[in-house]
Amino acid sequence: MHIKRIFGLVVFVGTLLNVTPASAHFQLLYTPNVNVNKAGEIPFKIIFWHPFDNGYVMEMGMVEEFYVLNRGQKTDLKQTLKPFHFQGMSNGATAFDATARIKRNGDYIFVLIPSPYYEEAEDIFIQQITKSYVNKATVPTGWETPVGLPVEIVPLNKPTNIMAGSTFSGRVLANGEPVAGANVEVEYLAAKPDMQTNRPMPATASPFPGGAIVAITDANGYFTIGIPKAGFWGVAALGAGPKKLHEGKKLSQDAVLWLKAHDMK
């Protein structure tokens, strides 16, 4: 039923959107292992960062919502949030630790709605509504289902086991409706956060020349990107959300989705 969805218009272009030329703001909702076989607690690092080049770390304010969906059941996770200081290469800022309990088999869709962040250099607010996935026991239970967020990227490939060297397709929705012509930035998590030290690990890739990689959604909100390397990839539909103003200033309400790609053994 999803075959026609993968033939979106795909455009890769370079763009300079930040003072950091090779990467962009990305809300990270990170846990190291996204495919688990046993019940138990899993940890998260929630950081607003430039993760491709271990760049500037943004100060996170209050979190509006943080929850997980599994088999239609919603569990609030805000009470697990604990602020900490994440020290990047150039600066440090407030981020959050969190935990979640994995019990039943299936897909776990984690949703983070942070408060808008004021970007002084551009005189705008940025709110990156973020989804991340964990699967238990390889049982599919709805990873392709829209959550119903103000803006979101719906995956058309299972987001926890993308094959490195293949492609990923998604659809951008705002209030359930497709967003045509949205700029979808692509970011590789080159410097993963160390779960113990609250610092970045050594980077495993160098930033691309020419700035951020961008795909453009087609008339029905679909896009396809290449996934050339194993690891975590983020995709962000910039300014695709319905809310355009916050406290009298421009708001870029973005949808972020995190994927995990694997090498074939």
Report how far residue 201's alpha carbon sits from residue 72's, in angstroms, rounded to the nearest whole number: 35
Average pLDDT of the segment spanning 180-201? 95
Q: What proportion of the chain, given as a percentage, has pLDDT over 90? A: 81
| Nearest of 161, 147, 115 to residue 253 by alpha carbon | 115
Mean pLDDT for the chain overall: 90
Confidence (pTM): 0.90
Q: Phi-psi bin for 150: left (phi > 0), alpha (psi -120 to 50), beta?
A: alpha
Confidence of residue 14 (pLDDT cuts 50, 70, 90): very low
Confidence of residue 6 (pLDDT cuts 50, 70, 90): very low
| Nearest of 185, 191, 229, 232 to residue 211 by alpha carbon | 185
Torsion of CA 188, 189, 191, 195, to 10 degrees: -170
CATH number (domain holding residue 90): 2.60.40.1930
Q: Which domain holds residue 215?
A: 3-262
Least confident of 7-16, 179-188, 233-242: 7-16
| Nearest of 55, 25, 99 to residue 191 by alpha carbon | 55
Number of structural domains (the chain) is 1
Each residue's pLDDT tens digit, 33-53: 999 999 999 999 999 998 887
